[in-house]
Structure 1
Amino acid sequence: MKVALFDLDDTLYAYNPCHEEGLFQLTSYLVSTWGISKEEVLTKYDSSRKLVHAQLKETAASHHRLLYMTKLCESFGKNPITYSKHLEEVYWKGYFSKMELDENVIPIFEGLIKRNVKIAIVTDLVAEIQYRKLLHLGLENYISVIVTSEEAGADKPNPAIFNLALNKLKMNSPEDAIFIGDSYSKDIVGANSIGIKAFWVSNDSDPVKSNSLTIQVRDLKTLRGIIFEHV
């Protein structure tokens, strides 16, 4: 094995505490400045998010918080040019305040690099925010390549994003790579579709999701205990 491809969100750190804090800060701000209820904010945020996803399908832009905020402003009759960018930053400030790297990531990364394995990040969403996350987590010096769905033109599990990562790493054979991620439908299915062995970080016990190209691990601590056997 020559390269290890990692998902970012909810694999290297816990997504939910970050998102919940981002939404809390956004909601608190709008309740105090626009005089609307928490319930109204959350309902219209959710409908704005769903509208963006419906319009943009499986693309990086469908995850863009700025677009969510634009639709949110429009739903309240507010000028999105005036408010959207600020609201996006309110959300991300709250989000980053809760972002903590899983304690097993650095030992895994350092062990891989020690064994001459290159590390890449393969992630949905727009490049700008995913780069910010990696810098916030202090991972920039460990990573050889990052590929976002914005750059690849499609979200996972589209093979394009996985193939682009291999091409950037100058890998001709998927057998020289492994993928580590938490989403079966996006990470595991996508990696397996081009012949990459995957480590699925999940407690899901569905036997239908078991196959010869996938090894399921409960968490990164478990992964840390076995990954070097595959290098």
Structure 2
Amino acid sequence: MEMMPTIFFFFLQLLFFSSSNAAVQDFCVGDLTGPEGPAGYSCKKPAIVTVDDFVFSGLGKAGNTSNIIRAAVTPAFSAQFPGLNGLGLSIARLDLAVEGVIPLHTHPGGSELLVVVQGTICAGFISSSANTVYFKTLKKGDIMVFPQGLLHFQINGGGIPAIGFVSFSSPSPGLQITAFALFANNLPSELVEKTTFLDDAQVKKLKAVLGGTG
């Protein structure tokens, strides 16, 4: 029994030593001159970090919606906003012209939260377990969440341009647009047809529209 106080005191000393010598790092501003790995970017040296690393001014201007989807996404991810590196969050601006659409897509690296600030946006996602669809037309001030990795979409739901801001639970959430993954690459058309049940004419038409080959 006499050993118990000694052992307890030893562990208290060990805990104090470990905690007092642990390095506390307030932030890890991304060094964009190097590659981005699974854990993000390497940290810039503190001596060259400035306040501008923690400020991003790119979301005040509308994105260019003169494209096939009549929509634009302006990201503020760690690649554009290095102060986010390692902090587990990011943001982007959505601009949807009339009839604009953000097609079905996924973010493998993070969940998404949308807030509508102008117009209306019909948004929804599809569950992976039962392919249940959850969608609703959102108006100004409404918020909707899209769980990580699930297919989801946003469509302009009215007669005026719509604007939304989306936050993510990752500084680099990733993006894969389903239509582009299928039809904007060089996967042979016959394989696309077998995996999508579309006929040859439909596949070739979509490849021509989206820039795919094969």
Question: After TM superposition, is the score higher than 0.5?
Answer: no
TM-score by length of 1: 0.28
Structure (1 or 2) with the greater strand fraction? 2
Higher share of residues assigned helix: 1
Give the TM-score normalised by the residue count of structure 2: 0.29
Larger Cα-atom Rg: 2
